[in-house]
Structure 1
Amino acid sequence: MTKYLQSNHYVFTAYIALSVIGVGISASSPGASHYYWLLLVLVFGAGAVAGQYYRLENDTTAQKSQALTTGLHWLGGLVAAIIVNAFLSSGRIFVEETGLITQLVLALTVYSEGFKTGWRNSAMGVFLALAAVSEAYFDSYVWQLLALATAFVAYSFYKRSEPSPKGCLHGSR
C-alpha cells in the first residue's frame, strides 16, 4: 500500500483528480469554491510533507531537514491562502475572486514545489494556473481542462515505466 502512496505517478493522478473536482466546483459555484481550494492547500501540503518523510525513512537527519523545508514551504502557501480569506472577511475582495486567488496561491505553491520534486508538481501547478485563468475569462472551459488533465495523466503513466535518473526520487524527474 505504501508503495502506491510513495509513487509520484499515483499521487499526481490523485492530485489531478482532486483539481478536476475543484474545476467543477468553481464552474458550478464560484462563490463557494474558495473553501475547496483552501482545503486542497492543506491536503497537498500534508501529502508533500508525508511523501518527503517516508521517502527518507532510513536517514533521520535528512528526513527531518526535508520534512521541515517542505513544511515551511507549504506553510507559506497556507498563510497566503488564509490572508486571502481575511481579505474576503474584511470586504476588500468579492467572494468569487477569493476562489480564483486561492487557486492561484495553490498553483504557485505546487509549481515551486516541483523544482525540488520533479516535473509532475510543476505540471500540476501549470494546470491549476490555466484552470484559474480559464475560470476567469471563459464561459465553457471544463471539457478542455478535463482533456488537458487526461493528457497529463497519460504522459505521467508513460513516464512511469522509464528508469529513474541517478539521484532522483522514484522516477520523479
Structure 2
Amino acid sequence: MKKKTIGIVLATMLSLGALGAVAADVAEHRHGGRRGHGRGGMFMGKEMEGRLNLTPDQKTKLEQMHQRQREQMKGQFQAGPQDRQGLMQEIFKDNPNPAVIQQRVAEMQQRQAAALTAHVQAMQEFNSILTPDQRGEMQKMMAERAQKMQEWKAKRAERMQQKQQEQTKPPQQ
C-alpha cells in the first residue's frame, strides 16, 4: 500500500511539475519571451497568424477565447505550488498520514483533470473558429512541430549520453 501511495505521489508530482513548466513557458511566450510568440501565446503568434491567414474577426474571437481561458486557469496555476508544498510537508513529517497524502493527491489530480478539460474545450473552440483550409494548415503546423520536438529529443538524448560517458570516464593521469 505504501509503495502504491508513494508511486502515485511521485507520478503526480512529476506531472504537476511538467504542468507548471508548461504554464511558465506559456506565460513567458505570452509576454514575448524567448521564442517570441508575443501576446496570446502560441495561438496568436505571428507565424501562426500569418500561416493561417486569420481574418480580423477570427483574431478577435481567438483573443477573447484566450482571455477567458487565462481567467479560468488563473486559480489552477496559483493552487499548484501550494498543493505541492502541502503534499511534501505531509510526506516528510515524522509520522505522515497516508489518508491525508491520498486526499492531497486526489485534489491535485482533480485540478489536473479540470485543466486538461479546459484545454480540450479551448482547442475545440479554436478548431471551430478555423475554416477547413486553415484546419489543414494547422495540421501541417502540428506535424512540423512534432517533427521538431522529435529532433530536439534526439539531440537531448545524445547530449545526455555524451555527458554520462564523460562522467564515467576514468580520470586521466
- Normalised by the length of structure 2, the TM-score is 0.38
If asked which structure has higher relative contact order (CA below 8 Å, sep 6+), I would say 1
Question: TM-score by structure 1 length?
Answer: 0.38
- Which has the higher Rg, Structure 1 or Structure 2? 2
